[in-house]
Structure 1
Amino acid sequence: MSYQALYRVWRPQRFEDVAGQEAITQTLKNAISQGNTSHAYLFSGPRGTGKTSAAKIFAKAMNCKNSTDGEPCNDCDLCQSITQGRLGDVIEIDAASNNGVEEIRDIRERANYAPTEADYKVYIIDEVHMLSMGAFNALLKTLEEPPMNVVFILATTEPHKIPLTIISRTQRFDFRRISPKDIIRRMTYILKEKQVDYEEDALLAIAKAAEGGMRDALSILDQALSFSDGTIKLEDTLRITGSITQELLIDYITAALNNDTQTGLALLHQMMQEGKDANRLVEDTIIFCRDILIYQKTKDEAVLKMSKVDDAFIALAEKANPEKMYATIRIMNETQQEMKQSTHAEVYLEVATVRLAQPVQASPETHPEKESANHQELNDLKNKMRQMQSLIENLQKGVPSNGSSNGRAAQPKRNTAKKQTAFKVNTRQVYRVLEEATKDDLLKLKDIWPDLIDALSTSQKAIMNTSKPVAASPKGLVVTFDYDILCERASSDTFLLDAVGDYLEKIVGHRAELVTVPSEQWPKVRQSFIDQMKANVPSSSESEESDEPESEEDDTIVSEAFQLFGKEVVKVKD
């Protein structure tokens, strides 16, 4: 048999093998052992943190006849079939290549058939955020009314791209990045099973380079096994990952602390000639300075991300100036941003090294007289701000700045108020919606209105937060706002109108024209429409019929008013 990568050979087969996700695995085990499983789950988190592995283990545990405390036995034919991918009742789908409406419709049709061998039919949809909007709409109905004995497990690295209507119908589990400690523990277990010698520092370097992903860590370990001569050594892993030894980082930071530009540049050139990755150097320097600052305050080795506490590290932490560490993090962060837009990474690193070797400017604590001057300047600014605020409040109340309240000074205020005319309602559009409006359309719209607002951008939410739908038809909706200015902004914001239309088309199935009305004007507009409807009905003086048809016409008007606005709103007067 051909060689298999470590992350495939050592893929977790039990919940207890999933590293760093104890809270999630314990919850899933309890749900299975207690029979409280849901019909849909969402597993989200960074790559290589165990989402798909946990989904397969969950599928095995649900169907295993010999499961114990929510764990599958992995020995029965059913567990073996799921592990090898041969069981037809556990279907794994890659949404990146099957993201169309037809594929999801096919899933919906097949989901209606009962499982053939297992108790539950399980659909594992990986990278579900890649589905098209039409595919999400096709999946929505199935998640809302799922068939019996069917479970959907959605896995994604970008949950923010999934519609809220999908997320709200699932149980969501957020997988976190795996800590270096857990990654090292898993790699140690694998190397002992393979009877391979290793250096502790080498595994630490691999865990740092993996950035919280177990699959990445095992891939790097695979490379190190191929590169080494039987023992995993630190030197080999550093060459593979492009990382920098802690000794070099200590020398580099020490040169910066000593304002030794020449030594700092020499160390930088040495690391570049050894083939170290420029981005990795920046990241390692930032994290190393962070570890120094944290260790200075806590003296706790457990909270450090990448550093090994030895005599050299302790000596550096004792003499390192915190202000210098803050400056180093800031300069390296700026350098990292600049390097993304340039192909001359080494030049930016050289400039950063020169900047790091410059003396740190003294803080205000060392110059009491300068600090006092700054405080005085700050107090002056606060006093001016208070004066301006008081002036603005007086102008809003119609009081002139000199304190007098004569009619001439107040006249411009009234003129200004007259210029700020109320929002002009487009009654033609409102009437067009009301002519076809129904109470059912309004109830549907009210039901999805909070979700619609949540789906908007931050600036659009600020406009729509006080909005309230008051009438709806298949082709339009009338929305009231507490303030005229929000009405005007909503009616003139084409991006907002498009966003509302897109959401309604996605959820309801059709677009609708949004018409805005201030809350205080809505009763008048509504009554005007009712009066117009009455005016269009022939009166008894114009017809030679008896009074009975007139009563029927009035009943029709009242019925339509009830249908449009509801019995709790309409009041009938003779």
Structure 2
Amino acid sequence: MAYQALYRVYRPRTFDDMVGQEVITQTLKNAIEAHQTGHAYLFSGPRGTGKTSAAKIFAREVNGISPDTDETQIPDIIEIDAASNNGVDEIRNIRDSANYAPIEAQYKIYIIDEVHMLSTGAFNALLKTLEEPPANVKFILATTEPQKIPATILSRTQRFDFKRIDDTTIQTRMAAILDKQSVEYDQDALRVIANAAEGGMRDALSILDQVIAYGSDKVTVENALQVTGSTTTEALLSFLQQVSEGDTRNALQTLHMILLDGKDAQRFVADMIGLLRDVMLSPIAPNLIKTTASVELLKQLNQKIGQQRIQIMMLALDETQKELLQTMQSDVYLELLTVKLSLAGSESTPTSSKINHSQSLATPKHSSEAEPSVSPSMTVDDMSSPITKPSSSPVKSTNNDTQSDTQQSALTQEKIANVDPEPVSQPVASNKKLSARTGQEAVFAVLSVARRETLTSATQLWPELQQQFDVAKQAFLTIAKPVAASDEAIVLAFDYPALLAEALQDAELQAQLVQQLSESNLPFSLVLISKDEWKIDRAAYVSRLRGGEKITVKLSDIPVVKANVEKIPVEQDDTVAVVNDTPEIVKQAQSLFGEDLVNIVD
């Protein structure tokens, strides 16, 4: 005998065999026993939840036919696929044949599957018959998209909404089937299959069939992960921990290892959403967790990431899931997702504290000759780290920065007291020089001589140009795009100010960009700004032009950004002036915040 798929072999034959739809099955059973069945029913719900099976069971039981009887052998149970029989003529045939009495059974039952596929004319042809059919005729309409059915049809039926079957019920059903099949299994493997089935029993049994065929001895977790394309919990946790810490480089490496293992991009995003959902629920509803990870670990991640950032990350994942349906470059979208997750909610997470601290150390605090790393036109509030300016007023700092500065100040005072002068350290120099410009004046200089043809060429070549960089820089450049261009320069707008600040100080990235732009016959002078700044600058430029102002600024007159200068605390006798008459309130402020953060203004 030919092999039959599990979902066909174990299709429910009675209402008692159906699982996950207890309310519907009990209602239909009671109606049959009380002889109060309606003339038209609508079964709606997701795929694989038992709509067609319930219709066939109802058709048999309302006619008193044995469950063992094949419905295809009963001439009075007519099943029609509306997807391939959706015309007016087919429905007219149904309407005409409904006037004839049943051949064997008490009722003639028409089961119309995927009824939403019927044309408008077909629905109109069915309308009157559906409202007032002959006494011995009943209609059962099944659909996955009830919103496409006309209201005039809906109002003439008893509607039953089938729900998704929960994972526990699916696992129990699969375990019972495997016991009958005498196949060994791991419970975690059934959990993976149930999760991939997304509430559909038919899908679960189809996947189970594949897993059994993949490794006939036993249904294992490894086989289930391979067949479903799911990612191991360990890999998901590792990826989540890395992006939550802002470790984008290692997160990208983990992502590529997952993809090299043959995991599906859509499945990976769905698994990440499921994991974040469990992390979110761990402190408030641990009984609803589906993953195999320990509750304690999930609670630690929840405390580390925070509920607000979890929600931001889930929205980013949901957006990427929709975008993956419309693209063939799933790898690039997942890399962009990794960058987004690393930056998601960074202003309110430990990640931002780490970035702020590292960037504040890279900015000189003792030297009054230090230059800002970006143009004054940039909005400081939009940056993820404070920017130290010459002769600035007192700067706010995090607790970590305060403690670090206080310790550094104490160390400096101790060395000065020992009078052990050493040469002043020189700024750390880079092998490559920065070449990019930023700020509103630079944008105006490009816009004043902008060429649409050049921008079009740059936009078209930008995806190809990104492929010339390594994986980390490719992901970095996916959040930037050309927004203006002239024969001399190109303006790149970054989605995130934090990454803009990093790009402005990355001499290697700028040098490689200049080289690739030059090789592509594109303008290679760089102007880097944030997307928000671009909107403001462009609006300001248009406003000035409308006001009759002529903008003549030249890009060559605008200096490139200067590198952040990193210096070791100065250790010379004449660098610190000892003030004996320091007021008491100033001393207290210095002890609390550090001497380098307190400026005395006469």
SS in 2 for 1:296: coil
Name the aligned partner's letter for residue 249 of structure 1.
L
CA separation of 1:309/1:151 partners in 2, compared to 1, >3 Å: closer, same or farther? farther
Q: Is the 2:278–2:298 Cα contact (8 Å) retained in structure 1? A: no
1:27 aligns with 2:4: no
Tell me the distance in 2 between the aligned counterparts of 1:278 and 1:359.
20
Give matches, 1:139-538, under 5 Å.
139-298=126-285, 300-301=286-287, 303-306=288-291, 308-309=293-294, 312-358=297-343, 360-363=345-348
1:349, distance to aligned residue in structure 2 (A): 1.4
Give the AA of the match of 1:7.
Answer: Y
Residue matched to 2:67: 74
**Cα 1:344/1:221, change in 2 over 3 Å:** same
Q: Is the 8 A contact 1:243 1:276 kept in 2?
A: yes
Cα distance in 2, alignment partners of residues 324 and 289 from structure 1? 10
CA distance in 1, matches of 2:14, 2:291: 29
Distance 1:14 1:141 in 2: 32
Moved more, 28-37 or 282-291: 282-291
User: Which structure carries more relative contact order (alpha carbon 8 Å, separation 6+)?
Assistant: 2
* Residue 525 (structure 1) aligns with: none
Decide whether the 8 Å contact of 2:283 with 2:299 is kept in 1.
Answer: no
TM-superposed deviation, 1:231: 0.4
TM-superposed deviation, 1:318: 4.7
Residue equivalent to 2:61 = 61
> Counterpart of 2:11 in 1: which secondary structure?
coil
- Alpha-carbon spacing, 1:304–1:101, altered in 2? closer, same or farther (3 Å): same
Distance 2:343 2:86 in 1: 55
Per-residue CA shift, 1:467-508, capped at 9, x if unaligned?
xxxxxxxxxxxxxxxxxxxxxxxxxxxxxxxxxxxxxxxxxx
Q: What is the Cα deviation at residue 314 of structure 1? A: 4.6
What secondary structure is seen at the aligned counterpart in 2 of 1:297?
coil
Q: Which residue of 2 aligns with 1:538?
A: none
**Compared with structure 1, are the counterparts of its residues 130 and 330 closer, same or farther at alpha carbon in structure 2 (3 Å cutoff)?**
closer
Quick one: which amino acid aligns to residue 162 of structure 1?
I
Distance in structure 2 (CA, Å) of the matches to 1:128 and 1:334: 31
Task: Report the residue type matching 1:176 in the other structure.
Answer: K
Deviation at 1:224, TM superposition (A): 0.4
Secondary structure, counterpart of 1:275 in structure 2: coil
Contact preservation (8 Å) 2:87, 2:121: yes
Hey, what does 2:6 align to over in structure 1?
Answer: 6
Per-residue CA distance 1:184-209 (angstroms, 9 max, x = gap): 11111110111111011111111111
Amino acid at match of 1:233: T
Query: How far apart in 1 are the matches of 2:80 and 2:238?
Result: 50
Q: Is the 8 A contact 1:291 1:307 kept in 2?
A: no
Q: Does the 8 A contact of 1:205 with 1:237 survive in 2? A: yes
AA aligned to 2:3 is Y
Does the aligned pair in 1 maintain the 2:82–2:118 contact within 8 Å? yes
Which sits farther off after the overlay, 341-350 or 40-49? 341-350
Deviation (angstroms), 1:305? 4.8
Change (3 A) 1:357 1:101: closer
Please say which of residues 350-359 and 207-216 is displaced more in the overlay.
Answer: 350-359
**Secondary structure, in 3 states, of the residue corresponding to 2:116?**
helix
How far the C-alpha of 1:340 sits from its partner, in A, is 3.5
Where in structure 2 are the equivalents of 1:35-46 lying within 5 Å? 35-46=35-46
Identity among equivalent positions (%) equals 54
Distance in 2 (alpha carbons) for counterparts of 1:179 and 1:308: 19
In 2, distance between residues paired with 1:232 and 1:59? 36
Cα deviation digits, residues 395-448 of structure 1 (max 9, x gap): xxxxxxxxxxxxxxxxxxxxxxxxxxxxxxxxxxxxxxxxxxxxxxxxxxxxxx
How far off its partner does 1:178 sit? 1.2
Contact kept? 1:184, 1:204, Cα under 8 Å: yes
Which letter does structure 2 place at the counterpart of 1:49?
T
1:133 maps onto 2:126 in alignment: no
With normalisation by structure 2, the TM-score equals 0.56
Q: In 2, distance between residues paired with 1:158 and 1:331? A: 27
**2-structure distance, mates of 1:185, 1:329:** 30
Q: 1:61 to 1:252 in 2, by over 3 A?
A: same
Q: Using a 3 Å threshold, how does the CA distance of structure 1 residues 102 and 352 change in structure 2: closer, same or farther?
A: closer
TM-superposed CA distance for 1:310, in Å, is 5.1
Amino acid at match of 2:214: F
2-side partners of 1:40 and 1:151: how far apart? 6
Shift of 1:44: 0.7
Q: Which residue of 2 aligns with 1:49?
A: 49
How far apart are 1:362 and its partner, in Å?
3.8
CA distance in 2, matches of 1:151, 1:276: 47
SS of residue paired to 1:20: coil
SS at match of 2:111: strand
Report if aligned partners of 1:224, 1:232 keep a CA contact under 8 Å in 2. Answer: yes
Taking a change above 3 Å as real, the CA distance of residues 324 and 145 of structure 1, as seen in their structure-2 partners, is closer
1:154 is displaced (CA, Å) by 0.6
SS of residue paired to 2:230: coil
Instruction: Extract structure 1 runs of 4+ deviating beyond 6 A.
Output: none
Conserved in 1, the CA contact under 8 Å of 2:316 and 2:337? Answer: yes
Q: Which blocks of at least 5 consecutive residues in structure 1 are unaligned?
A: 66-72, 368-372, 374-574
Name the structure 2 match of 1:384.
none
The CA distance in 2 between the partners of 1:104 and 1:335, in whole Å, is 42
Q: CA deviation at 1:306?
A: 4.7
Does structure 2 retain, via aligned residues, the 8 Å contact 1:257–1:324? no
One-letter identity of the residue aligned with 1:200 = Q
Q: Structure 2: which amino acid aligns with 1:349?
A: L
Q: CA deviation at 1:359?
A: 7.5
Mapped to 2, the partners of 1:19 and 1:352 lie a distance apart of 38
* Aligned AA (2:138): V
One-letter identity of the residue aligned with 2:155: S
- Is 1:111 the counterpart of 2:98? The answer is yes
Residue deviations 1:15-58 (CA, integer Å, cap 9, x gap)? 12222111111100010011110011000111111000000000
Q: Secondary structure at the match of 2:133?
A: coil
State the Cα RMSD in Å: 2.2
Aligned mates of 1:218, 1:20 — CA distance in 2: 15
Q: Name the CA shift for 1:337/1:90 in 2 (closer, same or farther; >3 Å).
A: closer
How many angstroms does 1:116 deviate by? 1.7
- Find the aligned partners of 2:295 and 2:348 in 1 and give their Cα distance: 31
